[in-house]
Chain A
């Protein structure tokens, strides 16, 4: 800014060459005015915002006073319980599906006499396969005791199970191992005949294959499916 712009040079004094200037009232006034306007504007702005904030604060207080805690508790409790139901059902095993598959894949020459299924990570721990590679805590360990005639039938049964194991879409067992075999003695005169064989098979099943399949008919599922 040209600061000389506001100065009025006096041309009446012809004797004294010294130039006299009047005070730049206009410029100064303008600056002061702008400052005051800014000051006032800031205060007005603050007042406006404060009023607005107070109104919002009142709205919030009034909204809060209208809370129905009983209803909120009911909804929160129901939602929480539904989450818990979901979580519990997610780890449910469809044992009927398991038995169905076991029946379908048991050859007629084999009879199972005992079955034990447990999740070592759940509580008891241990188990025949607990220490073996591939037996994870998430997997159920299954011990099957059975009887058949001759080693061939046992081999056939294992092959059937192995075949299922390789079926990536629908496997029954994941890890099959013959734990024990016990060939029964044949009586005299029966030499050459195939001998009765007791056996124990250990296997693992992946629970995820049998989870969330059995809930279609459960009453709780009807709750979950409702919006």
Chain B
């Protein structure tokens, strides 16, 4: 074998080995590194998040269930319109103040974004139930009525009001108070909503804000 060949054999081996490393070892190393550098931390974070979510759900649900909070929350913004219940509450506080209720009506607003555009989980938002009622009585009775309205378990906002003089059937002067109110209700987040929301989240899809409200 010529000497020049023998001399060049070592660098040649080096070059061949480098090519082998480049073609065969590097892809294996790269795939391992991608797994180690991206997939593994992602999985670790997902496991951590999953455990944290479950712990928080456990803790919060026991706290919520433990007290009267669920009921209070559901009274404040119920799962359905409950217009009948609302009207009877109005009637009750009007009677309590010994005022006379001369008219009472409700209508459901068609917008789904709520009065302040708050979007709740799964794209569902709180909805409005508006209406108005007219009562007659004295100014002090009216003020007490307003105070009682603010204390209602259900969130009711008075959006418009009119105070005027009126005369009773007996000819006496009394106050006529017309109130336009807005109450709220919100469809519930069901187990199925949560399940599909989490699945969408896992698929990397945006789920209309559901994830913001997950524990």
Contacts and interface: CB of A to CB of B under 8 A. Distances in A.
Given A81-B186, A96-B143, A115-B163, A45 B29 contact: yes
A115 B162 contact: yes
Interface in B1-59: 1, 3, 6-11, 13-14, 17, 20-21, 24-26, 28-29, 31-32, 35-36, 39-40, 43-44, 46-47, 50-51, 53-54, 56-58
Contacts of A39: 20-21, 24-25, 28
- Say what secondary structure dominates the interface of chain A: helix
A80 B24 contact: no
B67 A226 contact: yes
Interface in A9-42: 18-24, 27-28, 31-32, 34-35, 38-39, 42
B214 A72 contact: yes
Interface stretch (B80-88, B98-106, B191-199): B191-199
Contacts of B65: 74
Looking at chain B, what size class is its interface with the partner chain? Answer: 35 or more
A50 B34 CA distance: 11
Interface in A76-117: 76-85, 87-96, 99, 113-117
Contacts of A18: 3
Given A24-B9, A72-B53, A226 B215 contact: no
Given A66-B54, A81-B186, A82-B73, 6 more contacts: A4-B7, A21-B6, A23-B1, A60-B47, A115-B164, A219-B152
Interface of A: 3-4, 6-7, 18-24, 27-28, 31-32, 34-35, 38-39, 42-43, 45-46, 48-50, 52-53, 56-57, 59-60, 63-64, 66-85, 87-96, 99, 113-119, 122-124, 214-215, 217-220, 222-223, 226-227
